[in-house]
A = this chain, B = another copy of it.
Amino acid sequence: MKVVKYPSKEEWSTILKRPTQTVNDIETTVNQIFDDIQRNGDTAVLKYTSLFDGVNLTEIEVSEEEIELASTVISEDLKEAIQLAKSNIERFHSAQKTATVYQETMPGVECWQEKRAIEKIGLYIPGGTAPLFSTVLMLTVPAQIVGCKEIVLCTPPNSEGKVANEILYTAKLCGVTKICKVGGIQAIAGLTFGTDSIPSVYKIFGPGNQFVTVAKQLATKYGVAIDMPAGPSELLVVADDSAVPSYVASDLLSQAEHGTDSQVILVSTSTKLVEAVSEEINNQLKELPRVEIASKAIENSRSILVKDNEEALELINEYGPEHFIICTKSDEFFVENIVNAGSVFIGNYTPESAGDYASGTNHTLPTNGFSKAYSGVNLDSYTKSITFQKISKQGIKNIGRSIELMAEAEGLQAHKNAVSLRLKDINN
C-alpha cells in the first residue's frame, strides 16, 4: 500500500481515483447480443452460453430435481449459518417498512402515499470461482417481505452445466420462483425482452462484471429499471491509535481479495497506526489462498495521512466509499457527519464481513462514488410509491382558484377548464 502523507486538496482527486473501466469498448458487443436475443430468444441464449460458459445446455431452467438435490448436499452447519443470516436480514429489512403517509393538505384535500411491490423482478448472481449465495440472501429477502410475485434468478452454469448447490438451496429457501442457467449479457437481455425460458421483468438487481453492468444500463433504455450501476468493490477505513492494527489489516484484505480491481483505502491521523497496519498486511497477506488477487488490489491502494478528523471527513465524503469502517476515538463525529457512503461499520468488533453476510444490513451497495446519489439495496428498492388524492367539493373550492391562475399562467387552458367546470357546478 502506497502511503500518501498530508496531500493537498488539489491532489485528492488523483489519489482517490478508482481503477478505470472502459465501458465504451464493451457497448457494441452488448448491443449485438441484445439484438440477437430480442430476435432469436432461447436459441440465441443457448448459443452465447455455449460460447461464453463453454457448455451446451438443452434446458435453461433449473429443474425441480436439481433444486431438491442441492438441499441434500449442503451441510447442516452451513444451513444453520444461512438461516441465522436470513433471519437477521429479515429483521432489519422488515423494520424498514413504512406506513401509509396521509396528509390533508387543506380542508377537503386529502393526499396519501402508499408503497406497492414491484411485481416481477430479476436477480443476477455472478458465477466464477465462488458461489455467491450470500447475494441470493441479500436480494431475495426484501423481495419476499414486500411480496414481489415473480422472482427470477439468473446465474451462469459451470462447465458441467450446473449451478452451485449453495445458490440453489438459498434460492429455494428464499422463495425464488424460477432459476435460469444463464449469465452475462445474455441473462440481462433475457430478463429485458423475455424468451420462452426467461420471463421478462420490471427491475433487475445484482452485481456483475463490466459486461453485466453495461448490459444493465442498456436494459434501462428498454424500460427496465435497475438497482444501481455497479463497479469494483471498495472499502475505506478511518482509524487512529484506538484501532487494532491486525483487525484493520484483516478488513482491508477481506476487501482486497474480491478482485484485482478492488480498492482499499486507509485514512488516518496516526503515522504509527499506518505503519503497524502495513506490517500486519504483509504478515496476513502471505497466508491467504487468494494472495495474488489481494496483492494486486493492495498495490492499487493507498494509506493517506491527514492532519485532523475534519480533513479526514471531507476527504471521505469526497470519495463516497461503498464500505466505510470507523475505528477511532471519535466514532460519533464520523457517524454524524458522513454524507456519502454505502454502509458504515463502527468500532473494533464490526468487520466488513459481518455486513457482507449476517448482521442484517444489505451488501448490495453503491460503488464508484455513486453513494453521492444512490442508496444501497433496501426494502424500498422493491416497491414504488404511488400517490393518491381525493378532493371534496369544499376542497376544490379551496384550491380551485389557485389552480386556475397557475394553469392560465402556464398557457394550459384545458387544465384550467377542468377546474372551472366543477367550480361552476358547485357554485350554482
- Bound CA–CA A290/B413 (angstroms): 8
Convert A398-428 into 0s and 1s, putting 1 for each residue whose CB lies closer than 8 angstroms to a CB of B.
Answer: 0101110111011111111111011001100
**A interface, by DSSP: helix, strand, loop or mixed?**
mixed
CB of A49 closer than 8 Å to a CB of B:
no
- Bound CA–CA A254/B415 (angstroms): 5
Q: Which of B294, B359, B375, B406 contacts A384 (CB 8 A)?
A: B375
Q: Which of B109, B351, B352, B386 contacts A344 (CB 8 A)?
A: B386
Taken together, the copies of this chain in the complex come to 2
Stretch in A6-14, A217-225, A271-279 touching the partner? A217-225
Query: Are B166 and A353 touching (Cβ within 8 A)?
Result: no
Q: Which of B111, B358, B407 contacts A360 (CB 8 A)?
A: B111
Query: Are A288 and B349 touching (Cβ within 8 A)?
Result: no
- Bound CA–CA A70/B402 (angstroms): 20
CB of A372 closer than 8 Å to a CB of B:
yes
Query: Are A109 and B360 touching (Cβ within 8 A)?
Result: yes
Q: Which of B257, B385, B390, B396 contacts A414 (CB 8 A)?
A: B257
Known: A78-B409, A373-B384, A410-B130. A391 touches B118 (CB 8 A): no
Query: Are A254 and B412 touching (Cβ within 8 A)?
Result: yes
CB of A241 closer than 8 Å to a CB of B:
no
Query: Are B414 and A290 touching (Cβ within 8 A)?
Result: yes
CB of A65 closer than 8 Å to a CB of B:
no
- Bound CA–CA A396/B247 (angstroms): 13
Query: Are A221 and B217 touching (Cβ within 8 A)?
Result: yes
Q: Which of B84, B287, B343, B417 contacts A386 (CB 8 A)?
A: B343
Contacts of A92 in B (CB 8 A): 101, 103, 105, 111, 113
Scoring A247, A284, A396 by chain B CB atoms within 10 A of each residue's CB, the highest score goes to: A396
Contacts of A134 in B (CB 8 A): 406, 410
Contacts of A389 in B (CB 8 A): 343-346, 350, 354-355, 359-361
In angstroms, how far is the closest chain B Cβ from the Cβ of A10? 16
Known: A341-B386, A384-B371. A82 touches B406 (CB 8 A): yes
- Bound CA–CA A396/B359 (angstroms): 9
- Bound CA–CA A111/B246 (angstroms): 24
CB of A196 closer than 8 Å to a CB of B:
no
CB of A5 closer than 8 Å to a CB of B:
no
Convert A260-297 into 0s and 1s, putting 1 for each residue whose CB lies closer than 8 angstroms to a CB of B.
Answer: 00000000000000000000000010011110001000
Known: A88-B106, A105-B360, A406-B78. A119 touches B339 (CB 8 A): yes
Known: A229-B220, A335-B388. A251 touches B351 (CB 8 A): no
Scoring A91, A338, A359, A422 by chain B CB atoms within 10 A of each residue's CB, the highest score goes to: A359
Q: Which of B81, B105, B166, B386 contacts A88 (CB 8 A)?
A: B105
- Bound CA–CA A284/B378 (angstroms): 47
Query: Are B357 and A406 touching (Cβ within 8 A)?
Result: yes
Convert A188-226 into 0s and 1s, putting 1 for each residue whose CB lies closer than 8 angstroms to a CB of B.
Answer: 000000000000001100000000000001001101110
Stretch in A39-47, A308-316, A362-370 touching the partner? A362-370
Q: Considering the complex, give the chain B residue whose CB is closest to the CB of A97.
A: B101
Query: Are A372 and B119 touching (Cβ within 8 A)?
Result: yes
Q: Considering the complex, give the chain B residue whose CB is closest to the CB of A284.
A: B417
Query: Are A374 and B368 touching (Cβ within 8 A)?
Result: no
CB of A342 closer than 8 Å to a CB of B:
yes
Known: A346-B388, A419-B351. A81 touches B401 (CB 8 A): yes
Q: Considering the complex, give the chain B residue whose CB is closest to the CB of A119.
A: B339
